[in-house]
Amino acid sequence: MKTDPAGVLTGVHYLDGDFACGEGAMAAGCRFVAGYPITPSTEVVERISARFPMIGGTFIQMEDELASMAAVVGASWTGTKSMTVTSGPGFSLMMENIGLAAMMETPCVVVNVQRGGPSTGLPTMVGQGDMMQARWGSHGDYELIAMSPQSPQEAFNLTIDAFNLSETYRVPVMFMMDECVGHMTEKVVIPPADEIEVVPRRLTDKKPADFLPYRLDGAIVPEFARAGDGYRFHTTGLTHDERGYPVMSVECQEWNVHHLMDKIRLNAEQIVRVEEEQVEGAEVVVIAYGITARVTRTAIDMARRDGLKVGFLRLIVVWPFPERRIRELAGRVKAFVVPEINYGQISLEVERCAAGRAATRHVPHGGGGVHDPSSIYNAIVGAVK
Partner 1 sequence: MSAVTSRSEIPVPEHPIAPFLRMDRIPHIWCPTCGIGTVVKCFATALEGSALDLDKVAIVSGIGCTGRVAGYMKLDAFHTTHGRAIPFATGLKLGRPELQVTVFSGDGDLSGIGGNHFIHAARRNIDLMVVLVNNFIYAMTGGQNAPTTPLTARSSTMPYGNFEYPFNLPRLAATCGATYVARWTCLHIRRLTKSFSEALHRKGFRFIEVITPCATLYSRLNRLGTGLDLMRFYHDHAEIRHGADLRDLEIAFQDRIVCGKFLDEERPTFSEMKDAHYGKVLGDRYRPMPPEGGWIHA
**Which residues contribute to the site for partner 1 (CB under 8 A)?**
1, 3-4, 6-7, 29-32, 34, 53-58, 60, 62-64, 66-68, 70-82, 96-97, 99-100, 198, 200-201, 203, 226-238, 245-246
Residue 129, CA distances (Å) to 243, 292, 333 in order: 39, 12, 27
CB of 244 to partner 1, least distance (A): 9
d(CA 139, CA 99): 7
Q: How far is the CB of 81 from partner 1 (least distance, A)?
A: 6
Whether 266 contacts 319, CB under 8 Å: no
Q: How far is the CB of 138 from partner 1 (least distance, A)?
A: 10
Question: How would you classify the pairing of strands 108-116 and 82-86?
Answer: parallel
Rank residues 44 and 376 by Cβ distance to partner 1 and give the closer one.
44
Task: Identify which of residues 6 and 268 has a Cβ nearer to partner 1 in the complex.
Answer: 6
In whole angstroms, the minimum distance from the beta carbon of 100 to partner 1 comes to 5
Q: Give the chain's length.
A: 385
Phi-psi region of 219 (alpha: psi -120 to 50; beta: other; left: phi over 0): beta
CB 73 → partner 1: shortest distance, Å?
A: 6
Closest to partner 1 by CB, 139 vs 305, is: 139
**From the CA atom positions of the chain, what is the Rg in Å?**
21
- Rounded distance between C-alpha atoms, residue 367 and residue 122, angstroms: 8
Tell me how many degrees the CA angle 22-265-174 measures, rounded to the nearest 5.
20
User: In the complex, what is the shortest distance from the CB of residue 96 to partner 1, in angstroms, rounded to a whole number?
Assistant: 6
**Do residues 72 and 94 make contact, with C-beta atoms less than 8 angstroms apart?**
no
CB of 10 to partner 1, least distance (A): 17
Shortest distance, position 271 Cβ to partner 1, whole Å: 22
Return the sign of the alpha-carbon dihedral for residues 217, 199, 132, 285: positive
Local structure of 138: helix, strand or coil: coil
Nearer to partner 1, 5 or 382 (CB): 5
Query: For residues 228 and 281, which CB has a smaller minimum distance to partner 1 in the complex?
Result: 228
Of 52 and 321, which has the nearer Cβ to partner 1?
A: 52
Q: Pick the closer one to partner 1 by CB: 4 or 130.
A: 4
Contact 73, 97 (CB under 8 A): yes
Return phi, psi of residue 108, to 5°: -170, 165
Output 218 or 228, the one with its CB closest to partner 1.
228
Tell me if 273 sits within 8 A of 316, measured CB to CB.
yes
Cβ nearer to partner 1, comparing 115 with 201 = 201
Say how far apart CA 117 and CA 143 lie, in whole Å. Answer: 24
In angstroms, give the least distance from the CB of 242 to partner 1.
13
Smallest distance, partner 1 to C-beta of residue 63, A: 4
Best CA proximity match to 109, nearest among 51, 62, 45, 152: 45
- Please say which residue, 8 or 291, places its beta carbon nearer to partner 1: 8
User: Pick from 168, 134, 166: which is nearest to 148 by CA?
Assistant: 134
Contact between 38 and 90 under an 8 Å Cβ cutoff? The reply is yes
